[in-house]
Structure formats: structure tokens, C-alpha cells
């Protein structure tokens, strides 16, 4: 009778032949889902505690199973556990080992559950922890950006639209834009934790169970808020995987945008920042090169995270509800995206911590391209009661004049300006100072130094 002591799969009483070697090779997922061992063991312990409380199994059997499961956890942690591909996945590997340790009583563990609800319970718990870890890492990157911003409130650089000089900004204001993005990412992940709050355990294969189980008990004990409402939806639902993959995609898109920005600023044409030697690589032929490879890695990996989101969407499209093997790929995809994102956040953190703004070059570039033209137009509106459109025209004439004379706006004299607009006096010259220009943008959310300081304070407080 001791069927499970031999080297057979657990369902061997019905399926007489071993799976073909090819199927064993492709159908198993143990190398991937072994990551779920902790959640699987905890889920099983809580499950048998509930079975005992509900008088479905005896005290003795419950304790025996828990003893066996704890022993298995230790073996896994000490790398002494032998994974066998023949048993497909982590759930069956653990159950098989339980038989070896405690004998036939191990057979009670799978009362009133199925792998379908088991796998999704483990996976939801894992995803919830991974989400919390990402939020922690996002806090770290935000802290780094706040530190760099604090040191660069009065570092003036050109702000670009269409990659052409637009208006002067503080370097810190640029960086703080990324704090906004990472903060939205954090909120997106926080929202996902909420969507992970329903416990699948007890949905069994797809119908629920005729045993008198207590799903509220298992849900609470495993850190969920409540059990799921519909057993078929429970085993079919992978929306939480999509939420995770989408959030990873958006976050890596943000990382990719900052990476691209830094690559441009680091290029010889711009030369606005210097990257630390720690994050650049040399060329095998051009001895002078310091290439921003790591930033390019960040930009490239974003493609993989989008691909993963689309893989999962495609797997789910048209799949009838309840469980199908198609779903097994969900874990490989999510684990990969999770790993990529955490790597990317760490890399970006390292890059930002060691980045040096080339302040003089930033200022020089901010002083070119007639960047204070809008300030001049605003000045005319405010001081010479003109409609903005008229002020715009006069300013355009002044820019044309400066271009013809091959001068920057701040190199024009009051006399030259007066020839175009007689109302102007020497007082106007102050608007061509880029620092004044930056600090004049005091509207809420603008680049004035005070605004930036306030935002840095706000986020510092939020993160504490
Ligand atoms: N390893 C499987 C997965 O991750 C577990 C679910 C198996 N259920 C089944 N009916 N084959 O999808």
C-alpha cells in the first residue's frame, strides 16, 4: 500500500506510465517555483491548523504534519533538500518529502484543497512581499535624489523642450520631477497590495469543498483581509500578476527616461554631467572612451519588462476560466520582472549617488539659445501693460536683432533694446540673468528655489 514511498508521481494510481522524458523536461516548473517554498510551507501549516480546529483531522496528525513541514523548511534553508523534476513543482516536491518523513499521515495534508488554490495562495503572498520590497527600494532611490537635489537647488541649467533650450531651470527641479514619478510608482505598488488582500485558499480545484473549512481563519492567519468570493474566479484570476507587471513596466519606463536623459547630458555634445568611473566602461579599440553602458542597460531592460506584461496579457487572452497549464508561466514572468526592476533601481541609485553636474557648462548652456526670451516678454506685460501677444512679437524682434549681431540676449545694451522698444530702460537687463529667471518662477510647482526647498522638505518628511 505504501504507494508514495516509491519514486512515483502522486497521481500514479490512475496514470500508470511515467510522463515521457520530454514532458517531464518541459512540464516541470521546480527550478522556477522553488522560490515559493516558504509561502508553501506556511500555507500548509495554517491549512492543517484550520483542518484540526474544524475537527477534520486529529491533533496528532496535525502535529505530525507540522513537524514534517518544519523539518523540510530547515532542509531547504540548509540546501539539503533534494528537488526532483519528476514531481513537477514545489508543492508536490514538499508533499513527497513529507511522505518520506512522516509516512502515510502526510496524505491528510491535501484534504479540502487543490494545487490550484494552493499555488495561487503562495504566489499572492510572495508577490505581496516582493511589492513591499520594491516600495522600500523606491524609498531608497527617492532619498538619494533628495540628497542630490538638496545640493543643487541653485545649480542652473537649461530646461529643454524638443531638446532645444526652452527656459532656465534648477538642476534640482529636474531631479525632483523624478521624485514625483517614483512616488507615483510607490502609490501604484501600494494600491496593488490592496488588490492582493483576498485569500484563495479553500477554493480548492474550482468549486470550493464539501468539508466544513474556515476560510476566514486561514485568510487572517496568512495575512490576507478576507477569503475570495468566487471559487472559479479564484483559480482563474491572474489580475494581480498583470497589476504587478504593469507597475513594473511603468516604473522601468521612468527609469529608462532618466537613463536616456543622463546619456544625453553625458554626451560630448552636451557635457552637462560627469559619470563616475564606477558606472562607465571603456572601449576595446578607442582608448579615450568612457561609455555610459549601465544607463543603456537600464534603457534596454525596460523592453523586457514591457515584453513580460504582454506575455501575460496574451496568455490570459481567450483562456477559459478556472485552471489551465498555460497559467504556470505566470511565475517565471513575474519573478523575472521583479528581478529586473530591483536591479535597475539599485543601478540607478549607484549612478545618481556618484554623478557630478558640470555646473559651469550647465550655466554656459543656460546662457545660450536666447533662453530668457520668455522672461523678457513677461517683463513687458508686467511693466509696460502690454498684451502678451504684443510682448511676444517685440521680444521676437529683439531675438532676431541679437541673432543678427551674433550676441546673446544678456550681451545687448539698453540702447540697442530701446531702438526696438522705446519704452525699455536699463532696468530690463536684470531679466536676462538666468538665476533671476529660475527664481522668478514662484507659481506652485514652479522652479523657484523656495518651491524646490519646500518639496524636498515635504518628501523628506513623507519618507521618514
Ligand atoms: N505548478 C502549477 C502551476 O504553477 C501548479 C498548479 C497545478 N494544477 C494543476 N491542475 N495542474 O500552475
The pLDDT assigned to 15 comes to: 81
Rounded to the nearest angstrom, the distance between the alpha carbon of 193 and the centre of ligand 1 is 23
Q: Is residue 413 part of a domain?
A: yes
Q: Does the pLDDT value for residue 426 go beyond 80?
A: yes
Q: Which domain holds residue 314?
A: 116-204+229-365
Of 365, 387, 420, which marks where a domain is finished? 365
The pLDDT assigned to 207 comes to: 97
Catalytic site includes residue 110: no
CA dist list (Å): 70 to 37, 64, 100, 277, 434: 11, 10, 14, 47, 67
Return the best residue to mutate from 34, 89, 237 for the ligand 1 pocket (most ligand atoms within 8 A of CB). Answer: 89
- When computed from its CA atoms, the radius of gyration of the chain, rounded to whole angstroms, is 31
Ligand 1 atom with the smallest distance to the CA of 119 is 5
Of 333, 365, 397, which marks where a domain is finished? 365
Q: What is the mean pLDDT of residues 153-158?
A: 97
At what angle are helices 90-102 and 59-77 packed, to 10 degrees?
Answer: 120
The pLDDT assigned to 12 comes to: 76
**Does residue 326 share a domain with residue 427?**
no
- Name the residue among 65, 76, 148 with its Cα closest to residue 111: 65
Rounded to the nearest angstrom, the distance between the alpha carbon of 253 and the centre of ligand 1 is 32
The pLDDT assigned to 2 comes to: 43
Of 6-15, 68-77, 97-106, 194-203, least confident by mean pLDDT is 6-15
Q: What is the mean pLDDT of residues 345-361?
A: 96
Q: Is residue 209 part of a domain?
A: no
Strand ranges in 212-362 using DSSP code E only, listed in sequence order: 226-227, 273-274, 356-357
- Ligand 1 residue neighbourhood (C-beta within 6 Å): 29, 33, 89, 115-116, 119, 323, 327-328
Rounded to the nearest angstrom, the distance between the alpha carbon of 328 and the centre of ligand 1 is 6
Q: Percentage of the chain surpassing pLDDT 90? A: 89
pLDDT band at 282 (very low <50, low <70, confident <90, very high): confident
Cα of 428 vs its chain's centroid, Å: 47
Catalytic residue among 283, 346, 368, 413: 283
**Does residue 373 share a domain with residue 359?**
no
pTM for the whole structure: 0.94
Strand ranges in 171-305 using DSSP code E only, listed in sequence order: 198-199, 226-227, 273-274
Q: Does the pLDDT value for residue 1 go beyond 60?
A: no
Distance CA 177, CA 391 (A): 30
Q: Percentage of the chain surpassing pLDDT 70? A: 98
Ligand 1 atom with the smallest distance to the CA of 325 is 12
What's the DSSP call for residue 56? Answer: S
- Name the residue among 275, 297, 281, 282 with its Cα closest to residue 346: 297
Q: Write the pLDDT tens digit of every residue in 73-127.
A: 999 999 999 999 989 999 999 999 999 999 999 999 999 999 999 999 999 999 9
CA dist list (Å): 225 to 100, 119, 188, 359, 387: 35, 18, 19, 52, 60
> What is the count of structural domains for the chain?
3
The pLDDT assigned to 291 comes to: 87
Are 10 and 19 a contacting pair, CB within 8 Å?
no
Of 365, 387, 407, which marks where a domain is finished? 365
- The grid cell for 8 is 512515483
Rounded to the nearest angstrom, the distance between the alpha carbon of 144 and the centre of ligand 1 is 42
Q: Is residue 149 part of a domain?
A: yes
Q: Does the pLDDT value for residue 216 go beyond 90?
A: yes
**Does residue 339 share a domain with residue 381?**
no
Q: Does the pLDDT value for residue 6 go beyond 70?
A: no
Q: Write the pLDDT tens digit of every residue in 246-278.
A: 999 999 999 999 999 999 999 999 999 999 888
Q: Does the pLDDT value for residue 5 go beyond 60?
A: no
Mean pLDDT of the chain: 94
Catalytic site includes residue 47: no
Q: Does the pLDDT value for residue 179 go beyond 80?
A: yes
The pLDDT assigned to 420 comes to: 93
Amino acid at each position: 500500500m505504501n504507494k508514495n514511498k516509491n519514486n512515483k508521481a502522486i497521481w500514479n494510481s490512475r496514470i500508470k506510465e511515467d510522463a515521457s522524458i520530454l514532458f517531464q523536461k518541459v512540464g516541470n516548473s521546480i527550478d522556477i517555483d522553488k522560490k515559493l517554498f516558504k509561502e508553501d510551507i506556511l500555507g500548509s501549516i495554517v491549512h492543517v491548523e484550520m483542518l484540526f480546529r474544524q475537527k477534520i483531522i486529529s491533533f496528532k496528525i496535525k502535529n505530525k504534519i507540522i513537524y514534517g513541514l518544519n523539518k523540510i523548511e530547515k532542509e531547504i534553508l540548509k540546501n539539503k533538500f533534494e528537488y526532483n523534476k519528476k514531481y513537477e513543482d514545489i508543492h508536490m516536491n514538499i508533499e513527497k518529502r513529507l511522505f518520506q518523513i512522516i509516512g502515510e499521515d502526510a496524505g491528510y495534508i491535501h484534504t479540502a484543497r487543490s494545487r490550484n488554490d494552493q499555488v495561487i495562495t503562495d504566489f499572492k503572498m510572495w508577490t505581496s512581499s516582493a511589492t513591499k520590497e520594491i516600495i522600500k527600494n523606491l524609498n531608497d532611490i527617492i532619498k538619494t535624489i533628495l540628497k542630490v537635489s538638496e545640493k543643487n537647488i541653485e545649480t542652473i541649467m537649461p530646461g529643454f523642450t524638443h531638446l532645444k533650450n526652452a527656459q532656465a531651470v534648477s538642476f534640482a527641479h529636474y531631479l525632483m520631477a523624478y521624485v514625483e514619478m517614483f512616488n507615483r510608482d510607490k502609490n501604484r505598488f501600494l494600491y496593488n497590495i490592496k488588490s492582493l488582500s483576498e485569500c484563495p485558499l479553500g477554493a480548492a480545484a474550482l468549486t470550493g469543498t464539501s468539508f466544513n473549512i474556515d476560510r476566514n481563519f486561514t485568510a487572517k492567519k496568512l495575512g490576507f483581509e478576507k477569503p475570495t468570493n468566487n471559487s472559479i474566479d479564484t483559480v482563474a484570476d491572474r489580475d494581480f500578476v498583470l497589476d504587478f507587471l504593469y507597475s513594473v513596466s511603468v516604473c522601468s519606463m521612468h527609469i529608462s527616461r532618466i537613463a536616456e536623459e543622463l546619456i544625453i547630458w553625458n554626451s560630448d555634445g552636451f557635457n552637462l554631467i560627469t559619470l563616475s568611473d564606477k558606472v562607465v566602461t571603456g572601449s576595446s579599440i578607442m582608448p579615450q572612451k568612457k561609455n555610459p553602458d549601465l544607463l543603456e542597460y537600464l534603457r534596454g531592460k525596460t523592453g523586457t519588462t514591457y515584453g513580460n506584461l504582454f506575455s501575460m496579457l496574451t496568455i490570459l487572452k481567450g483562456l477559459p476560466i478556472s485552471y489551465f497549464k498555460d497559467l504556470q508561466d505566470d511565475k517565471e514572468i513575474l519573478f523575472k520582472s521583479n528581478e529586473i526592476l530591483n536591479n535597475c533601481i539599485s543601478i540607478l541609485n549607484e549612478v545618481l549617488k556618484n554623478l557630478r553636474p558640470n555646473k559651469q557648462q550647465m550655466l554656459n548652456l543656460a546662457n545660450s539659445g536666447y533662453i530668457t526670451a520668455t522672461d523678457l516678454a513677461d517683463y513687458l506685460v508686467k511693466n509696460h501693460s502690454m498684451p502678451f501677444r504684443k510682448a511676444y512679437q517685440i521680444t521676437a524682434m529683439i531675438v532676431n536683432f541679437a541673432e543678427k549681431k551674433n550676441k546673446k540676449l544678456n550681451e545687448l545694451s539698453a540702447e540697442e533694446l530701446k531702438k526696438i522698444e522705446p519704452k525699455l530702460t536699463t532696468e530690463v537687463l536684470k531679466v536676462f540673468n538666468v538665476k533671476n529667471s529660475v527664481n522668478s518662477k514662484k507659481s506652485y510647482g514652479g522652479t523657484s528655489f523656495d518651491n524646490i526647498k519646500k518639496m524636498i522638505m515635504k518628501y523628506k518628511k513623507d519618507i521618514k
